[in-house]
């Protein structure tokens, strides 16, 4: 009994696909009378047949809840907005449909609106939906936001390469915050920019349901800042994620979005006060090291930081990994490592992939070592900083990760992670004594009080 029908790339065109649709719907080609629909075909692929809007309309008119089709592939078929509207109706009519691939068409805004309408229906059964390369733009993303908020079945959604910008990313983020079932969201190749990436990551981090987030070729789209002397969020390193805020930041205080990020980090810092470790370290304002009066720190600014200026710093979270956290399952890890090892990917893309994955995943020290080895020497420290607080067995960090790094990388890591790292290394690299009178610690005093980790610099502390 035939259950899977694959007619991909057969140039059936609109008329051929229409004839097939009629046969599936039980329509007699000679008498035009409707008989029993086909209830055997469960998987149907018409990929690359140039069906156009004609074929899409025929499928909608002939496939109903009486058919058994659970998986359909209509990708690369030249389907436009009118056909996209019919695809939306098809999602509503095919009650047993679980997987649909509509990628590489041109359903546009109108088509996206109908598809989103179907996804909002309580009768929708679709679990996996691919809408990549369909020109939905920000307006279409608004419709998909409503679909995400209302849908209760979809687990996989691909919206890659749809010309979605920051406004569309903001809309999708709102939909994610309302969604309970989505496990994989792919937004690769959309020019949402650094701000859009940060917005999506923050939304995903607030839900803990999405486990696979694709943001390749999305960052770096923001306009350059006047007077800025550095690249913001290069490779996703400084993108704020409340579950993993450790990273290097460069924020323009005159920019509303950057200022909001800074305030969120201040809130994180307040919650970390009990640790006794400075979370904000290596602070600079317009390239000049910041110094505070004795007994004061960055919190002294309160709600009124300087109105402008480029604020650069390292933020180190002391939040421990939850006891129930488990390292990424080996089969999932191997798949992710393979994807990350693609030689065509730049370090910036790899770091953004790590940042996206670190929103929801943890790794063992041995796994972190393997991931870091896939990053070239010049950016390995960035990767280690990003993964430091996502390591489930941090006591093994020294043997698995620290020993992998070259001396200058270790020095850079000491500076970037400060006392949080110094405490971890203490048992492996004991503080040397001097004639029983003094001890040397890996700290150096900065102007105005406070301390930062030094690379080779020491501060004598009296033992008397």
Mean of the per-residue pLDDT values of the chain: 87
Question: Residue-wise over 52-67: b if at least 16 C-beta within 10 A, else e?
Answer: bbbbbbbbbbbbbeeb
Look at 143 and 31; give whichever has higher pLDDT. 143
Which CATH code for domain 4-214?
3.80.10.10
pLDDT band at 378 (very low <50, low <70, confident <90, very high): confident
Max mean pLDDT among 139-143, 255-259, 305-309 falls in: 139-143
Task: For 404-463, write each residue's pLDDT tens digit.
Answer: 999 999 999 999 999 989 988 987 776 544 444 333 333 333 444 443 433 333 333 222
Task: For 88-124, write each residue's pLDDT tens digit.
Answer: 999 999 999 999 999 999 999 999 999 999 999 988 8
pLDDT band at 208 (very low <50, low <70, confident <90, very high): confident
Q: CA-CA distance, 346 to 146, in Å (whole number)?
A: 34
Domain residue extents for the chain = 4-214, 234-315, 322-418, 430-464
Say what the pTM is.
0.82
pLDDT band at 237 (very low <50, low <70, confident <90, very high): low
How confident is the model over 302-319, as a mean pLDDT? 90
pLDDT of residue 243: 86
Q: Assess contact for 60 and 85: CB atoms under 8 A.
A: no
pLDDT band at 368 (very low <50, low <70, confident <90, very high): very high
pLDDT of residue 304: 83
Task: For 41-77, write each residue's pLDDT tens digit.
Answer: 999 999 999 999 999 999 999 998 889 999 999 999 9
pLDDT of residue 122: 87
pLDDT of residue 30: 65
Q: Assess contact for 210 and 360: CB atoms under 8 A.
A: yes
Q: CA-CA distance, 151 to 181, in Å (whole number)?
A: 8
């Amino acid at each position: 009994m035939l259950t899977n029908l694959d007619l991909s790339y057969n140039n059936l065109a609109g008329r051929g696909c229409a004839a097939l649709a009629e046969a599936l719907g039980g329509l007699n080609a000679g008498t035009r009378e409707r008989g029993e629909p086909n209830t055997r075909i469960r998987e149907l692929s018409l990929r690359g047949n140039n069906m156009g809007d004609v074929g899409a309309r025929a499928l909608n008119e002939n496939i109903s809840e009486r058919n058994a089709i659970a998986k359909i592939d209509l990708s690369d078929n030249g389907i436009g907005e009118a056909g996209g509207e019919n695809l939306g109706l098809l999602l509503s009519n095919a009650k047993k449909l679980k997987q649909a691939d509509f990628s590489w068409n041109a359903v546009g805004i109108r088509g996206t609106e109908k598809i989103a309408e179907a996804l909002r229906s309580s009768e929708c059964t679709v679990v996996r939906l691919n809408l990549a390369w369909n020109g939905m733009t920000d307006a279409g993303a608004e419709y998909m936001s409503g679909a995400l908020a209302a849908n209760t079945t979809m687990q996989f959604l691909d919206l890659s390469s749809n010309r979605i910008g920051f406004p569309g990313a903001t809309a999708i983020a709102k939909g994610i915050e309302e969604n309970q079932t989505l496990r994989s969201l792919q937004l690769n190749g959309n020019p949402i920019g650094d701000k859009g990436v940060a917005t999506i990551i923050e939304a995903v981090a607030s839900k803990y349901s999405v486990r696979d987030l694709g943001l390749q070729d999305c960052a770096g789209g923001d306009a350059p800042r006047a007077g800025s002397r550095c690249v913001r969020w290069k490779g996703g390193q400084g993108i704020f994620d409340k579950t993993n805020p450790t990273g290097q930041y460069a924020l323009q205080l005159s920019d509303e979005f950057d200022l909001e990020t800074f305030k969120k980090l201040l809130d994180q810092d307040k919650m970390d006060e009990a640790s006794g470790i400075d979370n904000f370290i290596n602070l600079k304002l317009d390239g000049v090291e910041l110094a505070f009066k004795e007994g004061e720190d960055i919190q002294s600014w309160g709600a009124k930081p300087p109105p402008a200026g480029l604020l650069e710093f390292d933020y180190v979270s002391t939040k421990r990994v939850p006891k129930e956290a488990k390292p990424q399952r080996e089969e999932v890890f191997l798949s992710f490592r393979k994807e990350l090892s693609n030689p065509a990917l730049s370090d910036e893309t790899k770091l953004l992939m790590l940042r996206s994955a670190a929103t929801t995943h943890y790794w063992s020290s041995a796994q972190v070592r393997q991931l870091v080895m896939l990053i070239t020497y010049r950016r390995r420290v960035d990767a280690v900083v990003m993964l430091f607080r996502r390591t489930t067995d941090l006591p093994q960090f020294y043997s698995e990760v620290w020993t992998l790094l070259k001396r200058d990388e270790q020095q850079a890591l000491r500076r970037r992670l400060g006392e949080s790292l110094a405490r971890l290394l203490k048992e492996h690299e004991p503080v040397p004594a001097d004639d029983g009178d003094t001890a040397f610690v890996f700290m150096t005093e900065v102007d105005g009080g406070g301390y930062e980790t030094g690379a080779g610099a020491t501060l004598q502390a009296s033992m008397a």
